[in-house]
Chains A and B, each alone.
Chain A
Amino acid sequence: MTDVAVVGLGIHAFGRHPGVSGLEMAAIAARAALDDAGIGWEDVEFAAGGSDAAGNADTTVSVLGLTGVPFINVKNGCATGGSALTTAHAMLVAGSAEIALVVGFDKHPPGAFNPLPEEWGLGSWYGETGLMLTTQFFAMKIQRYMAEHGISQSTLAKVASKAFDNGARNQWAWRRQPLSEEEVLASRMVNDPLTQYMFCSPGEGAVALVLARGDRAKSLARTPVYLRSVAFRTRRFGSFEVFSPSVPLESAPSPTAEAAAAAFEQAGVGPDDVDVAQLQDTESGAEVMHLAETGLCAHGEQEQLIQSGATRLDGRLPINTDGGCLANGEPIGASGLRQVHEVVLQLRGDAGDRQIAGPRRVGFTQVYGAPGVSACTVLTR
């Protein structure tokens, strides 16, 4: 398969930015990515991107310039960034373009998301009676998982504490105040067993990536980082997913497990080869479950792995080195591309204060969301 490399990185700081629209953040990130690649917007032959709640990505062309570039708007929930990346990767591999830009951005109001039942194929009663909350569902999911696999609440707190330690070293993160395990545990209970600081918050931010294929990949990148695979899956019957008034008795592999397995197979590497990974951590429990669903460890092994510090920056398997969703917040359209942005920085050796200590050859990302979608990538130097 033709080599596709990430040759340009651009990010607009995550957090809250009053007076700056999501589209403006997207344009800032896109310009930064083009500058990093050393090219102009007129050199881009294909673009894809989107947001969940902040407008159509292709509106950015009116800011960047009307070059006639084919631009596909993507709106696919938490997998928006992953879907844009999947599309651009496929176009490059097919030879339809030499250079592509992907952009993801969002801008959400404070507080938990309030999805409407009618938009998810559910009766209005489901929302009216107080069952339609993502935080509530993920608390029930990790509650069950903890009972089945021996995960402690201390481990959930350690995941959050690590995220804020890493966020403190990330100039683009929203939450840059370190918090101890004890402070995380002592914060307000939101949905048992998850406390306030074990959850990320909806927020704002934007990320753009420039991708190039073949010879252009080699000529543009100072330190080429290759996108070896992108795999995207939706839920199967039996996967335990949000917004489900009932779930079947039988279980099935999650969309993350299937996307991760496909991404590793396409890339020709295995989970054991991974030096650094970014996993969807909209709450602490998600990072714990995704560690095993992606194959980075066995189910139940997370307790020892996290308690021993293996997932910290100086550990054997650093996870969410930029602070993840917990420290960056969740602008839905931007999160999946933020993960790739961070892995490329780490593999280049450009991550500054948060550069991982160990080898940096293989990176992995996993984004996941409602109502059961997941996109995974493998990147190598």
Chain B
Amino acid sequence: MPQQTESVSLHDGLVVGTVDAPELVGSRCRNCGVVAFPPQSSCAKCTSRDVETRHLAREGTLWTWTIQCFVPKSPPYAGSADDFEPYGVGYVELTDEVRVEARLTESDPGQLSIGMPMKLVLVPAPGSDGGLTYAFAPAEDDA
């Protein structure tokens, strides 16, 4: 694992910040305020091209979820069947911003429920040697 304070830039610059404080890069429409991820060059709601880059909130609540129980086909999946473990996937609602789709660090359906608090973390990316990707982990209620 890289140093906690090491800067990162993953997935063509969509994930930045540091290992212990990653941030997703989205966009916000200056005309109507709609937030999108990944960043859009024009607004899907009002069609305005006046959009700005926005670093999204790092915490939110679980809006929906599932468990990916089978190995996705390759391509496009980069992981292999040999070391596959089921993983959680969900949409996490970032207050007043947008709902972001992500892998979840939790893969036990009994531990996941709609509305639970979540926080952004980095996890090993499937099939990559030392590479990282973003995910959401259950957050402490008192965090």
Contacts and interface: CB of A to CB of B under 8 A. Distances in A.
Given A140-B66, A246-B99, A192 B109 contact: yes
Contacts of A246: 26, 36-38, 98-101
Interface of A: 111-112, 114-117, 123-133, 136, 139-141, 143-144, 147, 188-194, 237-238, 244-249
B22 to A, nearest CB: 14
A140 B89 contact: yes
Interface in B61-104: 63-70, 72-79, 87, 89-91, 93, 96-103
25 contacts: A114-B75, A116-B76, A125-B12, A127-B75, A127-B78, A128-B76, A128-B127, A129-B125, A132-B76, A136-B68, A136-B89, A143-B66, A189-B67, A191-B68, A192-B65, A192-B66, A192-B69, A192-B109, A193-B66, A237-B44, A245-B37, A246-B36, A246-B99, A247-B99, A248-B99
A130 B72 contact: yes
A235 B63 CA distance: 21
Contacts of B10: 125
A102 to B, nearest CB: 31
B76 A144 contact: no
B98 A248 contact: yes
Q: List the 8 shortest-distance A-B pairs measured between CB atoms, nearest first.
A: A127-B76, A114-B73, A144-B64, A128-B78, A139-B66, A125-B11, A246-B37, A237-B45
B63 A131 contact: no
B57 interface: no
Contacts, number: 125
A133 B68 contact: yes
A246 B63 CA distance: 12
A1 to B, nearest CB: 33
Nearest to A117: B76
B133 interface: yes
A244 B66 contact: no
Contacts of B14: 123, 125
Contacts of A114: 72-76
Given A130-B77, A192-B67, A248 B101 contact: no
A127 B77 contact: yes
B139 interface: no
Nearest to A252: B45
Contacts of B72: 112, 114, 130, 132-133
A128 B126 contact: yes
Nearest to A193: B66
A140 B91 contact: yes
Nearest to B95: A249
Of A126, A130, A140, A144, most buried by chain B (CB within 10 Å of CB) is A130
Given A111-B73, A190-B69, 15 more contacts: A114-B75, A125-B10, A125-B11, A129-B126, A132-B72, A132-B76, A133-B72, A139-B66, A140-B91, A147-B114, A238-B45, A246-B98, A246-B101, A247-B101, A248-B45
